[in-house]
Amino acid sequence: MSVYDYTVKDAKGADVSMETYRGKTLLIVNTATECGFTPQYEGLQTLYAKYRDKGLEILDFPCNQFGEQAPGSMEEIEKFRSLKYNVTFPLFGKVDVNGDGADQLFTYLKSCKGGLLGDAIKWNFTKFLVDKEGNVVKRYAPVTTPEKIENDIIKII
């Protein structure tokens, strides 16, 4: 199994095969628009602008499981990202990342790289770095800023 074996929903509800991203370096993030970590969108966009032409894709999956900090419709989330942080990387449909209803992609990511206190994702802005072959290379805690991830991206891009 690899990330390429999964299909996810885009922001409009259409199926997107992760195979679309084969050969790209991926940073997969569960986000929330009303979280204390939301300003990380700025750093994520900076990374995307800097490395997109070298094969980096950042995949944004809103998650409302932590303090209901991703309220609103997908249109509202897209508008917020665009107007407040000028985000241009892909937005996907809202997902659960833990529990019985967890998105299969996130279940897979967690099985590859568990957290310090078990596999469960603890909060918004947990990040997974995936290499061009679809291997989950590293998992980052919500407190890890995008700027601190840059060197790891450079190494595998």
Supply φ then ψ for residue 122, to 5 degrees. -90, -25
The per-residue pLDDT for 115 is 61
Gap between the Cα atoms of 83 and 114, Å rounded: 34
- Whole-number Å distance between alpha carbons of 55 and 115: 26
Is residue 136 within 8 A of residue 3, CB to CB? The reply is: yes
pLDDT higher than 60, residue 68: yes
SS3 assignment, position 63: coil
Q: Report the pLDDT value the prediction gives residue 127, as an integer from 0 to 100.
A: 97
Choosing from 11, 29, 35, 44, which is the catalytic residue?
A: 35
For each of the domains in the chain, give its residue range(s) and CATH number, in order of start: 30-130+140-156 (3.40.30.10)
Q: How many residues does the chain have?
A: 157
112 is catalytic: no
pLDDT tens digits for range 1-22: 899 999 999 999 999 999 999 9
Share the mean pLDDT of the chain: 92
